[in-house]
Amino acid sequence: EAGVAQSPRYKIIEKRQSVAFWCNPISGHATLYWYQQILGQGPKLLIQFQNNGVVDDSQLPKDRFSAERLKGVDSTLKIQPAKLEDSAVYLCASSLESRWGSNTEAFFGQGTRLTVV
Amino acid sequence: AQTVTQSQPEMSVQEAETVTLSCTYDTSENNYYLFWYKQPPSRQMILVIRQEAYKQQNATENRFSVNFQKAAKSFSLKISDSQLGDTAMYFCAFMIDSNTGKLIFGQGTTLQVKP
């Protein structure tokens, strides 16, 4: 089966510009996660969707970050305006459902590496 | 607050030897999940092994096994017969709320397997 697809793989922008990332989860997966991974750190959850509804966005900087998951499939994450500290890898992941059992697993995409200069 | 700590930023091991990566966590919860993820240069996080806190038996997946010490809040990963393809960043992760699947990650350990 196809994995989680993300684009673009790399993006370089100047501070104060805007940028958008796209994620296509595994077909049939109801839950979608966006994680931010700053260089040298572990990923940190930004936002989680269950179908097209937001489950957790407590760590999303809402003054500049926004995300949507229209129709409960693809998702986009936007930053406007970008700051230097937004330089990171943005990982998208999906799982079949939000409630985890013994065999539930989150599948990750290859991420988008954002550099803000 | 729940935290995950990996105290070894970098480790190296000779091919075919055994290496252990350390992880400690902090929580007041009794039921939770623990995971080890591998992140190669391609950046894609790959699940290596998982442990459910209510299970006393340590999880094993082929060459990978864990030493889960619940009282000590320790969750180390042992890689036996190390292979060059094991070279990657390894992250310990923790989930307390199985209703959401939110993962809390440690800082990671870079493992290099030398030929």
Domain boundaries, chain B: 3-114
Q: Are the C-beta atoms of residues A24 and A32 closer than 8 Å to each other?
A: no
- A20 to chain B, any CB pair closer than 8 A? The answer is no
- A91 to chain B, any CB pair closer than 8 A? The answer is yes
Task: Specify the pLDDT at position A97.
Answer: 76
Task: Specify the pLDDT at position A1.
Answer: 61
Structural domain span for residue A59: 5-96+109-113
In a domain, A76, yes or no: yes
How far is it, in rounded angstroms, from Cα A58 to Cα B43?
25
B3-114 CATH, one of 3.40.640.10, 2.40.50.140, 3.40.50.300, 2.60.40.10: 2.60.40.10
Q: Are the C-beta atoms of residues B15 and B82 closer than 8 Å to each other?
A: yes
Structure tokens at A8: 């673009």
Q: How many domains does chain A have?
A: 1
- The shortest C-alpha distance from B75 to chain A (Å) reads 16
Are the Cβ atoms of A48 and B46 closer than 8 angstroms? no
Query: B42 to chain A: which residues are within 8 Å by CB?
Result: 110
Which residue, among B92, B102, B105, B110, would best test binding to A if mutated, counting the most A CBs under 10 Å from its CB?
Answer: B102
Are the Cβ atoms of B43 and A113 closer than 8 angstroms? yes
Instruction: Give B76-106 pLDDT, tens digit per residue.
Output: 999 999 999 999 999 999 887 777 788 999 9
- The pLDDT mean for chain B works out to 93
Q: Is the dihedral of CA B48, A25, A102, B23 positive or negative?
A: positive
- The pLDDT mean for chain A works out to 93
Task: Specify the pLDDT at position B12.
Answer: 97
Are the Cβ atoms of A110 and B44 closer than 8 angstroms? yes
In a domain, A37, yes or no: yes
Query: A43 to chain B: which residues are within 8 Å by CB?
Result: 45, 91, 103, 105
pLDDT tops 90 at residue A96: no
Cβ neighbours of A2 (radius 10 Å)? 8
- The shortest C-alpha distance from A81 to chain B (Å) reads 25
How far is it, in rounded angstroms, from Cα A7 to Cα A21?
6
